[in-house]
Amino acid sequence: MLGALAASADCADAYDRSGCYSGSAVDDDGVLTLNYTGNVKFDDGGRTAWQCLAQQNSAGGFDKLGPVIALPEGYTGYVRDPKVWRQGNHWYMVLGAQDRQLQGKVLLRAENLQQWQLLGEIACSGLNGLGPAVYMWECPDMFTFGDSTYLICCPQGVAREEKRFLNSHPSAWLSGTLDYQTPAYHHGPLHQLDAGFEFYAPQTTLTADGRRQLVGWVGTPDGEEMAQPTVAHHWIHQMTCLRELSSRDNKLCQQPIAELQALREAGQVYQGCADDAPSIEAQWLELLLESQGGIELNFADTLMVTGEWHYRYWTGAASRLQILCDHSSVEIFINHGEGVMSSRYFPTQPALLTLRGRAELQAHYWSLRRCMVE
């Protein structure tokens, strides 16, 4: 939706002349209203940021209403990505931020869409057991399942571990309770949101029937995206499939939305030893795979699960996989969404998926028809 906005680069004092950065959209008494960050970069290398509004007009475009929040005292120009929601009679907003000590913060603001006040920091470096290394929090999003309030975010500067947070910048989630009055967010440890090579900047929305859906970017800032072969064709990156979120055993789970099943063509079934399974065309593929033993999945000798080369890890017993393959991407959902791994890959087409191992497995798979937006 924010692609409808362009920077006002022709005006020297414009509040978004260096870019309309991401935000969120809300229904304000029947008017589609965008909350976004106006970014301004100065010639001396400094920068500032404004949180801005735009409203849809009768022609279907958007009219910019200008800034509603200036850069708060004590913070650098890295304050951005407003996520707005309504709770009771008030609007609330979470903002990613960095303070003057170069520590990452998540700020909470509340009032109405035109007048805001800073209530405080609800998640930050050194708070509730979080380490001090995080220097910026990007793309925060907050929502509740039952008694648990989840914060998803992109904390930059998280220390790499042996098997976690291995990307240049990760995406993560926290679970806890939010006290709107204090305000305070009492939460547990930081968890990876996606354990694959490429996933960033996820955002959620609530559907009319009450489902919380997420979409993310299959890419990573400061990663290897400029080495992708699509650069030669003047385009780069893609988005994930839409995912439905749920909370299970105090874990945030993700699964492909049920509507994607409409893309399935005639299904096929295999049951038996992995070594005897047929090769599967993986150009447009959905695969449901269950096994209690060790098996290896080889995606066209380009991407492997339990294979060689660079590694990413999801730790735990994986008994069920749901895999979505496109021309150049793979999304692997583990144990009904308990874990996810997303990645770009660029095999020679047509790509074949082969299975290896002596374990018994059950596989149900479908070729997927092209998805046309009408």
As a whole number of angstroms, the distance between CA 373 and CA 241 comes to 14
151-176 per-position pLDDT tens digit: 999 999 998 999 999 999 999 999 99
Residue of 72, 125, 69 lying closest to 102 (CA atoms): 125
95 near 50, Cβ under 8 Å? no
As a whole number of angstroms, the distance between CA 189 and CA 174 comes to 6
* Cis, bond preceding 183 (omega within 30 deg of 0): yes
- pLDDT, position 372: 66
Mean pLDDT of the chain: 91
**DSSP label at residue 159:** P
As a whole number of angstroms, the distance between CA 341 and CA 344 comes to 11
As a whole number of angstroms, the distance between CA 48 and CA 255 comes to 38
22-51 per-position pLDDT tens digit: 999 999 999 999 999 999 999 999 999 999
Exposed (0-12), middle (13-18) or buried (19+): which is 222, by Cβ within 10 Å? Answer: exposed
Q: Pick out the chain residues at pLDDT < 70.
A: 1-3, 9-13, 305-310, 372-374
Where do runs of H (alpha helix) occur along 18-146?
Answer: none
Kindly state the percentage of the chain with pLDDT values over 70: 95
HSE, side-chain direction, 13 A CA sphere, residue 365: 25
- pLDDT, position 223: 76
Task: Give the β-pairing of 296-299 and 352-356.
Answer: antiparallel
